[in-house]
Amino acid sequence: MYAQMVKSEAADDSPEAISFQARIDAGEKIEPKDWMPAGYRKTLIRQIGQHAHSEIVGQLPEGNWITRAPTLERKAILLAKVQDEAGHGLYLYCAAETLGVSRDDLTEMLLDGRMKYSSIFNYPTLTWADMGAVGWLVDGAAIMNQVPLQRTSYGPYSRAMIRVCKEESFHQRKGFDIMRKMSNGTPAQKRMAQDALNRFWEPSLMMFGPSDKDSVHSAQSMAWKIKMNTNDELRQKFVDQTVPQADYLGLTVPDETLKWNDEKGGYDFAEPDWAEFYEVLKGNGPCNRERLAARNKAWDDGAWVRDGLSAYGQKRAARKVAAQ
Amino acid sequence: MSSVGNEYPQSKVETPKRSEWPLWEVFIRGQHGMNHRHVGSLHAVDAEMAIKNARDVYTRRNEGVSIWVVEAHHIAASSPSDKGPFYEPAESKIYRHPTFFDIPDDVGAM
């Protein structure tokens, strides 16, 4: 889940809000010009904004390995994957902008820390096997969340999710392919693959956020269909899907309590360390400072390019007016 | 990914904030013989840059053979509050649909 702990605003009980809810219940899509409760708009801006920021910051852990990919083909593929993440960020920023927030405002809120991005991107990518684990687990967890969001009530968000999902499955397969290669490689490569799984397993489970089955905020977001499943549902689905894949790779999921539960038709598994999760959200993860510093540097270093292009655009527009 | 419209949140048009580039709506013809379809939006300083950006953002997997871009504020749109009355003339004329007429089975396909 790329959006974590998004605080939901309360609904109101005005006649407009009641007919708005009826539209959602009937499966209608809400479009930018339609009336919507202020809380719906605010919550969506937070959620889509955080989702967009996650795509953008999510380029950093993988960008780290572009220059060190083991072959030219792997490098080209990784580059394409990272470029996709930039694209996903742009689809999502566009969707957020239809709600009346400006791109610059969103960027500013990311850069000064007022808005968050997913906790997962605050973990380092130490070896090439991490490129496998990120694609397989992190993109796998993202898909779990994004597939149901294709049916979300807000039209522009839903359409962005449809595009994202079309492209995301390449990412997961690419990651699994790296894991497969390394799991079947030399003992040292297999150790690297296992080590990557060990380090990314819990942070991947954290991506879905803490249990929210009793959360009032979550219930409101679900009524508005901007959240389609509880965090626990999605986490369970992710574990059930991923464990057999780890078995196939011959890798061990780092959870001694992991056990198939016939009764519920799913695995029992250990909760990740939520204290660590909250620390990462607070800004104290292994790479929080590095990630935000990198985004700030990119924004500051790019200022002259943005200004130069703006000046060029204005000059061309002025010339066009003069010619008419 | 925006839906177009005259109430489109154009915060930048009325109050140019810092130096945000104009917003462009992007339309792509997916295959020869098909209509251009709205796919989303992006920011660019001019049309040329908007088309190049649209290529990078919306056609990374051969999704298009032709791109249109138009600055969002040039688009006029019907108002959502008109939804009922505006389309009413069509709703009451169900005889415009072929299924309105019964054709006996003996007549065959028509």
CATH of the domain at B36: 3.10.20.520
For residue B86, what are the domain limits? 23-101
**Residue B82: per-residue pLDDT:** 64
Q: Give residues 206 to 245 of A whose Cβ lies within 8 Å of B.
A: none
Average pLDDT in the A297-302 region?
96
Residues of B in contact with A76 (CB under 8 A): none
Cβ separation A32–B8 shorter than 8 A: yes
A106 vs B contacts (CB less than 8 Å): none
Listed by number, the residues of chain A in 27-46 with a beta carbon closer than 8 Å to a beta carbon of chain B are 31-35
Which of A111-115, A265-269, A307-311, B75-79 has the least mean pLDDT? B75-79
Q: Does ipTM come in above 0.90? A: no
Q: With respect to residue B8, please indicate whether it lies within any of the assigned structural domains.
A: no
Tokens (6 digits) for B67? 């791109």
Chain A residue numbers touching B57 (CB-CB < 8 A)? 87, 90-91
Q: Is the pLDDT of residue A283 over 90?
A: yes
Mean pLDDT computed over A31-36: 93
Q: Considering the domain boundaries, does residue B27 fall inside one?
A: yes
Q: Is A163 a residue whose pLDDT tops 70?
A: yes
- Touching check for A156 and chain B: CB below 8 Å? yes
Higher pLDDT, A215 or A183: A183
Is pLDDT of A306 > 90?
Answer: yes
Is the minimum CB–CB distance between A162 and chain B shorter than 8 Å?
no
Task: Indicate if the pLDDT at residue B2 is higher than 60.
Answer: no
Q: What is the model's pLDDT at position B90? A: 79
Percent of chain A with pLDDT over 70: 100
A143 and chain B: CB distance < 8 Å anywhere? no
For residue B16, which residues of chain A lie inside 8 Å, CB to CB?
none
Window A:77-136, CB contacts with B under 8 Å: 80, 83-84, 87, 90-92, 94-95, 97-105
A59's CB contacts (< 8 A; 6+ apart) are A82, A85, A86
pLDDT of residue B83: 67
Whether B63 maps to a domain, the answer reads yes
When CB atoms are compared, the residue of A94, A157, A309 closest to B42 is A94
Q: Which of A199-208, B16-25, B55-64, B88-97 has the lowest mean pLDDT?
A: B16-25
Q: What is the pLDDT of residues B79-103, one digit of tens each?
A: 776 667 788 877 788 899 999 999 9
Residue of chain B whose alpha carbon sits nearest to that of A33: B7
What mean pLDDT is predicted for residues A165-173? 92
Asked if residue B49 is part of any domain, the answer here is yes
For the segment A66-108, what is each residue's pLDDT rounded down to a tens digit? 999 999 999 999 999 999 999 999 999 999 999 999 999 999 9
Position with higher pLDDT, B99 vs A202: A202
Residues of chain A positioned with their CB less than 8 A from the CB of B45: 309-310, 312-314, 316
Going from the C-alpha of B86 to that of each of A242, B4, B78, B82, the distances in angstroms are 51, 18, 9, 5
State which residue of chain B sits closest to A158, comparing Cα positions: B1
- pLDDT-derived band of residue B9, with 50, 70 and 90 as boundaries? very low
Q: Please state the length of chain A.
A: 324
Grade residue B20 by pLDDT with cuts at 50, 70 and 90.
confident
- Under the banding of pLDDT at 50, 70 and 90, the label for residue A62 is very high
pLDDT at B10: 45
A156:B1 CB<8 A: yes
Specify if B53 maps to a domain: yes
Ramachandran assignment for A118, one of left (phi > 0), alpha (psi -120 to 50 degrees), beta (any other): beta
Q: In the structure encoding, which two tokens stand for residue B76, read together?
A: 């006029």
Partner B contacted by A23 (CB < 8 A): no
pLDDT of A180 over the 70 cut: yes
Give residue A61's pLDDT.
97
Task: Show residues of chain B in contact with A77, CB under 8 Å.
Answer: none
Alpha helices in chain B (DSSP H): 11-14, 47-58, 83-91
pLDDT band of residue A24 (cuts 50, 70, 90) is very high
Q: Are A227 and A148 in contact (CB under 8 A)?
A: no
- Residue B38 belongs to some domain of the structure: yes
Q: Closest Cα partner for A34 from B11, B24, B82, B90?
A: B82
Q: Chain A to chain B, count of Cβ pairs less than 8 Å apart? A: 94
DSSP reduced 3-state for A273: coil
Contacts of A107 in chain B (CB under 8 A): none
User: Is the CA virtual torsion A172, A174, A176, A178 positive or negative?
Assistant: negative
The helix, strand and coil proportions of chain A, stated in percent and rounded to the nearest 5, come to 70, 0, 30
Residue B108 counted as domain residue: no
What average pLDDT score do residues A211-237 get? Answer: 91
Q: Does A307 touch chain B (CB under 8 A)?
A: yes
Using CA coordinates, name the residue in chain B closest to A87.
Answer: B57
The answer to whether residue A140 scores a pLDDT higher than 80 is yes
Give a yes or no: residue B4 inside a domain: no
B23 to chain A: which residues are within 8 Å by CB? 97
Interface test with B, best of A16, A20, A102 (most B CBs within 10 A): A102
pLDDT-derived band at B1, boundaries 50, 70, 90: very low
Strand partners, B25: B41, B70
Question: For chain B, how many structural domains are there in total?
Answer: 1
